[in-house]
Chains A and B, each alone.
Chain A
Amino acid sequence: MQTNQDNILELQNVTTTFFTKQGEVKAVDDVSFRVGKGETVGLVGESGCGKSVTSLSIMRLVPQPAGKIVSGKILFRNEDLMQKTEEEMRHLRGDRLSMILQDPMVAMNQLLTVGKQLGEPYVFHDKVKGSLQGMCIDLLRKVKVPAPESRVNDYPFQFSGGMSQRALIAMGIANNPDLLIADEPTTALDVTIATQVLKLMKEIQGETNSSIILITHDLATVAQICTRVLVMYAGRIVESAPIKTFYKNPAHPYSVGLIQSVPVLGRSVERLASISGQPPSLFAMPEGCRFAPRCDKAHKKCFKAYPPKTQLEDDHSAACWLYVKD
């Protein structure tokens, strides 16, 4: 572990629960990880494993009233976000801490012009210098939307999927945040446009030196731009590794399965060829390792208790009984 000074974000034992009529769902369960300054961390896992809820927890925007962060610390720039007031959080959001939601088509307000929505991070953080319209046009130019001067007055429905995603990225990076969480920024796009969008994010990061958490279920995307990978399974982080180690030496059987199921670049984790079965229902979590019902290495112990996190080498850890020495 590096010293705290190098971290922009550190989650310590964060648990986020939804209290629903059908019961309690621990969508994020005792999650800890860190993101270094200027780092791009990939957060991967199957649909429904808790990636979006993790990001919304960091933003302190878990869907109300069902969802609640029940425990843990979220250290952002060494300050615990859990201790912040709503107004303090508002000042951080869209300024130092930003996020791009999963589906660009529904993440934009259909009744307001793209320009109006782009301008909000400036307006509400007192960052307007000169013409707001000009700032919005510059922002659109930065994310390579063609003809930004006229596009700024368009409505979201006049934008294509790729352009909407670019506009959404523009909203996220308007104030050069210290941390940008991009929730599946390429899932809704076709491969060529996805590649362009990723390239764009990399370029922008080069200019602003923001840290990025890139959420995806596409391992190829991770390979393209991430420095480190977090693997999430059923609400928990099961492995954390630098990108090279992850591909060369994956520790957790789930990670191994993920990598094996994506022999071709661009294939998605959604179709797990080599891992049979389904992730457990979050309502009926198995007592032991959550992956045990699908794991070919599972043994007795695995069904009894959840494995503790084991440090394998510098910066590489996994939660699996295979690595617990006793």
Chain B
Amino acid sequence: MQGYIAKRILIAIFTIFAVMTVVFFVFRLGPADPVAVMLSPNATPQDAENLTKKFGLDKPLIIQYGNFLKNVSKGDFGTSFRFNEPALKVLFERFPATLKLGLAAFFVSVSMGLCLGILSAVKPDSIIDRLGRLLALAGMSLPSFWVGVMLILFFGVTLRWLPIAGRGTAMHYVMPTLCMSLYPIALITRLSRSSMLDALKSDYVTMARIKGVPEFYVIMLHAFKNAAIPVITVIFGLFGALMVGSAVVVEYIFSWPGIGRLVMESYFARDYPVVQIFVIFVTFVVVSLNLIVDIVYAYIDPRIRYQ
């Protein structure tokens, strides 16, 4: 068990390191010259040289990489060209907004997805099952930017029920959360439905019924515990990636002041250190979530725990 977790942690650290390296070189090898971007139109060549020196851009790439790693180990991920502040600080200032929206979407999609999935597996072809399948189809096929725009048009512009941008009240959360949750709800519903159906057909479930175990325990203790294993991977593993991906789109559509919007702004402004820290941070989040999945697996499945 300890060996298992230690191995996962090592893999996680290696993944983050690898991504950092790739990110470093991709941004350095890119065609755009960040110094040119930062300079005001009437700057002198001397200014350009100073800036280049200041950011260490005159050194060979490999030295720059060494410095980068040295700085990273000190928690220094570079300075935002745009704000002239540490990139990490810029990111963290905007992170709470994303986190709150992400958590809202997380709870909505997990609870809705699991409920719909379990209920439709328990009663196949019932109204709930049909509804769930329709929702799953919609969620899988409609792109979130389109859903976002439609929501704004319908609830924001036509009905004027909900605010269309910004954040502050609970009402501000409704549309972005909905927009962000649709795909995960669809995914979790479909997955939990099919793995619940498999579990409910299995012999250990029949055996539990033979023993006179009440149906509620049969479903939750016997079937769901087994069905949860593949669902957990998706919930945590894919979730980080999904959230970040849709955060970028959703935050942009709803003018949500989170890191998704920040990275879009920074990208257009060629503020590479911020884009870079965003990618590294996202990797960190996704890798951590995967690590949690692995540990949760070991907790649920004795076959892994006793390895």
| A interface with B by C-beta (< 8 Å) | 56, 59, 61, 63, 65, 86, 90-95, 98-99, 101-103, 106-113, 117, 120-121, 124-125, 155, 157-158, 168, 171-172, 174
Closest CB-CB distance, A105 to chain B, in whole Å? 9
Q: Which residues of B259-307 are within 8 A (CB) of A? A: 300-303, 306
The answer to whether B212 and A125 touch across the interface, beta carbons within 8 angstroms, is yes
Contact of A61 among B125, B204, B206 (CB under 8 A): B206
* Known contacts A61-B206, A65-B124, A101-B206; A110/B303 CB under 8 A: yes
Closest CB-CB distance, B211 to chain A, in whole Å? 4
CA distance A99 to B201 in the complex (A): 17
Interface membership of B208, Cβ < 8 A: yes
Closest CB-CB distance, B307 to chain A, in whole Å? 11
Interface centre among A59, A108, A110, A120 (most CB of B within 10 A): A120
* Known contacts A101-B203, A108-B204; A61/B210 CB under 8 A: yes
Closest CB-CB distance, A177 to chain B, in whole Å? 10
Chain A residue nearest to B211 in the complex (CB): A94
The answer to whether A121 and B211 touch across the interface, beta carbons within 8 angstroms, is yes
Q: Which residues of B202-235 are within 8 A (CB) of A? A: 202-204, 206-215, 217, 221-222, 225-226
Inter-chain contacts of B226 with A (CB < 8 A): 109-111
Inter-chain contacts of A56 with B (CB < 8 A): 206
CA distance A113 to B306 in the complex (A): 13
Inter-chain contacts of B203 with A (CB < 8 A): 101-103, 106-107
Interface centre among A106, A109, A157 (most CB of B within 10 A): A109
Helix, strand, loop or mixed for chain B's interface? helix
| B interface with A by C-beta (< 8 Å) | 124-125, 201-204, 206-215, 217, 221-222, 225-226, 300-303, 306
The answer to whether A106 and B204 touch across the interface, beta carbons within 8 angstroms, is yes
Inter-chain contacts of A125 with B (CB < 8 A): 212
Excluding A61-B209, A110-B303, A168-B207, 14 further A-B contacts by CB distance (< 8 Å) are A65-B125, A91-B212, A93-B211, A94-B213, A98-B210, A99-B210, A101-B203, A101-B207, A101-B210, A107-B204, A109-B204, A109-B222, A111-B225, A124-B214
CA distance A121 to B214 in the complex (A): 11
Inter-chain contacts of A91 with B (CB < 8 A): 212
Contact of B209 among A93, A109, A111 (CB under 8 A): A93
Chain B residue nearest to A123 in the complex (CB): B213
CA distance A112 to B213 in the complex (A): 14
The answer to whether A63 and B212 touch across the interface, beta carbons within 8 angstroms, is no
Inter-chain contacts of A90 with B (CB < 8 A): 209, 212, 214-215
Chain B residue nearest to A65 in the complex (CB): B124
Inter-chain contacts of B222 with A (CB < 8 A): 109, 112
20 examples of A-B residue contacts, CB within 8 angstroms: A59-B209, A59-B210, A61-B206, A61-B209, A94-B211, A101-B207, A106-B203, A107-B206, A108-B207, A109-B208, A109-B225, A110-B226, A110-B303, A112-B225, A117-B211, A120-B208, A120-B213, A171-B211, A172-B210, A174-B211
Closest CB-CB distance, A66 to chain B, in whole Å? 10
Inter-chain contacts of A108 with B (CB < 8 A): 204, 207
* Known contacts A61-B206, A106-B204; A124/B303 CB under 8 A: no
